[in-house]
Amino acid sequence: MTEEQDLLRSAYQIALRAGVDTNWEAFTRRLRTYLLSASRLPADSDDNDVAIATCTAKTFRIIPSKGETP
């Protein structure tokens, strides 16, 4: 299994349990490390570099309907 597949499987399992009991710091660190490596960026790159180099992220946010408050 590739690193990318492993991360996707982990993300899927986290989503199934709605993030409950997730070590977010460790998962975020692992994602960041993978994205930096895949983009050939140095480990000390800032988060803006990561976002720019890896294209626009899909956030899957629920957007309130017109007139609703977020």
Query: What gap in Å lies between CA 31 and CA 33, rounded to an integer?
Result: 5
Query: What gap in Å lies between CA 40 and CA 65, rounded to an integer?
Result: 40
pTM, full prediction: 0.70
List the beta strands (DSSP E) in 3-44.
none
The tens place of each residue's pLDDT in the chain, 70 residues long, gives 899 999 999 999 999 999 999 999 999 999 888 888 888 888 888 777 777 666 666 777 777 777 666 5
Query: What gap in Å lies between CA 3 and CA 34, rounded to an integer?
Result: 8
